[in-house]
Amino acid sequence: MTPLRADYTVGKMETFDWASLSDEELLERRISTLGLRLEDTALQSLIQQLYDELSAKGLVFHPPCHIGDEWFVPIGIPVIFIPFFLVHDRLRALERTMMLEVEGETPEWFMKLMRHEAGHAYSYAYQLQRKKKWQQTFGRTSREETPNTYRPRPFSRSYVMHLEDWYAQSHPDEDFAETFAIWLTPGLDWRKQYAGWRALRKLEYVDELMRSLAGKPPVHTPQYRVVDYDFLNVKLKTYYARKRKLYEDTYPDFYDADLRQLFAAPAGIKASAYLRRRRRRLLNAVCQWTNEKKFRVNQLLARLIRRCDQLGLHVLNDDPQEDFRVSSFITTLVMNYLFTGKFKRTK
């Protein structure tokens, strides 16, 4: 998939004094001072694609879009905030350096997230969560009872599969947004894909509900100030310090016994050096098979490397099976967390 190119193209390409700064210099800038906007970028055509998809379903409300610090829809406000780092190539490069990947960087990924957020916007614009049948279908929702974490059931057929981490299971609001996104996706035969699933009942309800809203304007469009919700009045270094902290606390330290068994050679090369040399290969392989975020797996690898140093572990240099064992071990750690751990709600 081809990454977005979202540079400004007003007449000729607009330039910014910060675009040529080093990472260290750029991290000192406040996001709010970068002069970012969605107009005249590649993102604008993708936003229009969302509007076209809604119009094709007979829906007339097109949620306004703004630049924010992450993907989100403010509670009760039917607008979509798109993360600032998608607006410019230089910012996407910084995001990749700091987080190892860029959420929504391809058109396909971007649209999946947009359809999800549009579901939230429609819920607020038409006050759908107040409907009795909505509550019977997705559950009751409450501002006071929104959990920060959730424990998914990966094999459940009661929820659609749209975003990663079984996100529909995190909360009734997310269940609706994910179901709405599947329903809205062009060319997707959701009746066939979810035949025999309990989630099909939810999709059929969303289809019925959206048909009833065709041609109708929203009933709830409160006034708001973008600056009250975009959270951009911070330096980039502060933004990334907070974001990395959010992700790096994922995996607990419980692997000493496994490491001693895995790297049991009495002599040879240091296990930490072995892992450092193979870090990128291991990172790509584990993320490919687990669909876990690269930053999380990279942090896990960093912990394993540090712990191997502390334990003084070694590995034989000529063991052809070691790469396989190490990849299997790290994949097992990640999958064990995916199936038994708790996930943070982030969207």
Q: Are 69 and 230 in contact (CB under 8 A)?
A: yes
Distance in angstroms (rounded) separating the CA atoms of residues 181 and 208: 15
- The tokens of 248 are what? 């790096």
pTM of this prediction exceeds 0.85: no
Can you give the length of the chain in residues? 347
DSSP helix/strand/coil, 269: strand
CA distance between the termini of the chain: 23
- The tokens of 93 are what? 């490069």
Looking at residue 176, its pLDDT comes to 97
Q: Which of 232, 233, 235, 234 has the alpha carbon at shortest distance from 23?
A: 235
Average pLDDT over residues 162-182: 91
Sign of the C-alpha dihedral computed for residues 48, 52, 53 and 55 taken in this order = positive
Looking at residue 11, its pLDDT comes to 31
Residue 31 Cα distances to 99, 231, 259, angstroms: 17, 9, 42
What share of residues in the chain are helix, strand, coil (percent, to 5)? Answer: 55, 5, 40
Residues 6+ apart with CB under 8 A from 131: 209
The 8-class DSSP code of residue 3 comes to: P
For residue 256, name the pLDDT band (cuts at 50, 70, 90).
Answer: confident
Distance in angstroms (rounded) separating the CA atoms of residues 132 and 154: 28
Higher-scoring residue by pLDDT: 265, 192:
192
Instruction: Please calculate the CA angle 69-70-75 and round it to the nearest 5 degrees.
Output: 100
Average pLDDT over residues 256-271: 88
Instruction: Give the H/E segment covering residue 80.
Output: strand 80-83
Q: Which of 150-154, 191-195, 308-312, 328-332 has the lowest mean pLDDT?
A: 150-154
Distance in angstroms (rounded) separating the CA atoms of residues 123 and 120: 5
For residue 153, name the pLDDT band (cuts at 50, 70, 90).
Answer: confident
Looking at residue 147, its pLDDT comes to 60
What are the tens digits of pLDDT across the range 88-128? 999 999 999 988 889 999 999 999 999 999 999 999 999 99
For residue 28, name the pLDDT band (cuts at 50, 70, 90).
Answer: very high
Sequential DSSP letters for 35-57: ---STTSHHHHHHHHHHHHHHHT
R_g (Cα) of the chain, nearest Å: 23
Q: Are 327 and 282 in contact (CB under 8 A)?
A: yes
**Residue 64: is it exposed, middle or buried by C-beta count within 10 angstroms (0-12/13-18/19+)?**
middle
Q: Which of 6-10, 28-32, 182-186, 306-310 has the lowest mean pLDDT?
A: 6-10
DSSP helix/strand/coil, 5: coil
What are the tens digits of pLDDT across the range 273-323? 999 999 999 999 998 888 888 888 888 898 899 889 888 999 987 677 888
Mean pLDDT computed over every residue of the chain: 88
Q: Which amino acid is at 295?
A: F
DSSP helix/strand/coil, 81: strand
What are the tens digits of pLDDT across the range 41-90? 999 999 999 999 999 999 999 999 999 999 999 999 999 999 999 999 99
